[in-house]
Amino acid sequence: MQRKEYSIRNFDAANSYSKILSIRILPDGLCFVVSDPKDNKLLYMTKIIDSNRHGIDIFADECKSNNVLAAEYLKTHVVYETQQFTLFPTPLLEDVEEKKIAELNFGNVDGATVLTDTLPTNEISVVYTVPQRHEETIRRNKPNATIHNQMMPLLFNAMFNSKKCKGSYLHLNIRTSSVDVIYIEGGKLKLANIFQYQTADEFLFFVLGLMDNYHIDQYDVKCVVSGEVDENSAVVDHLARYIAKIEFSATPKGIVEKSAFSSIKNKHQFLTIYQLPICV
């Protein structure tokens, strides 16, 4: 198990009632951040990775033993990283049952809870599933928490940053065996989906197929990378052979980082929970 903790010098969990807690639950880990809503200043962060346990089980144990996670907050947001999500026009949700949307896209959803995220623009909603046991664990330990899918903060970030991009915009949020993909062209969202891969070569094959299907110019597209990778990762090395403009996602505009957080490497892995308090 790997555990890293960052904190400003005078952080006190006893003063949590005026703060925001953002939690990210991964298939193999957990990360949570405490921030001040007055100025979006980061106060505390813990990241735990354990390949032998699901993040929901780490979360349950930490809620019992970690005084920061167990404290009561002004707001608590949970990003649950799921592989089952789809986008749906928000105005049409009034006429269609969310469970039927999930069944049409994912098949049988027995044993899962169907949830919906709506982007601030109110035009697009993300319909997704969370295993019922996992949702119950979150509700039991954090009854006032709002649960979100990873695509919601990613979409918000990509749609905001693509406005400053002259060409097309491709965002890849990469994990060890899956990648969230957002493609925006001419200011319009063309694709938001998740794909599985096993090797770096398979990842590259998928990206090249994506570029071919959407006629993406390798010299024109701006490719932004976030997630559980760094500049030495094989998948990033493969990307660099075929895409001219690649950069790692920056800390979202408005987030204030003090010196305790400035030394963190690969901050792009925290994009979803950094972005979440700003877009909900």
Tell me: the pLDDT tens digits for 181-219?
Answer: 999 999 899 999 999 999 999 999 999 999 999 999 999
Statement: residue 279 has pLDDT above 80: no
β-strand 41-49 against 85-89: which pairing, if any? unpaired
Alpha-carbon distance of 232 to 249, in angstroms, equals 16
* 164 plus 195 within the same structural domain: yes
* 198 plus 133 within the same structural domain: no
For residue 115, the enclosing domain spans 85-149
Alpha-carbon distance of 95 to 97, in angstroms, equals 7
Cβ(185)–Cβ(168) below 8 Å: yes
Span 120-138, average pLDDT: 93
Confirm whether pTM is higher than 0.85.
yes
* 77 plus 91 within the same structural domain: no
The length of the chain is: 280
Of the three residues 129, 149, 169, the one that is the final residue of a domain is 149
User: How many helices (H) does the chain have, and how many strands (E)?
Assistant: 9, 14
pLDDT value for 35 = 94
β-strand 2-7 against 41-49: which pairing, if any? antiparallel
pLDDT value for 55 = 95
pLDDT value for 260 = 79
Span 248-271, average pLDDT: 85
* 206 plus 159 within the same structural domain: yes
pLDDT value for 14 = 84
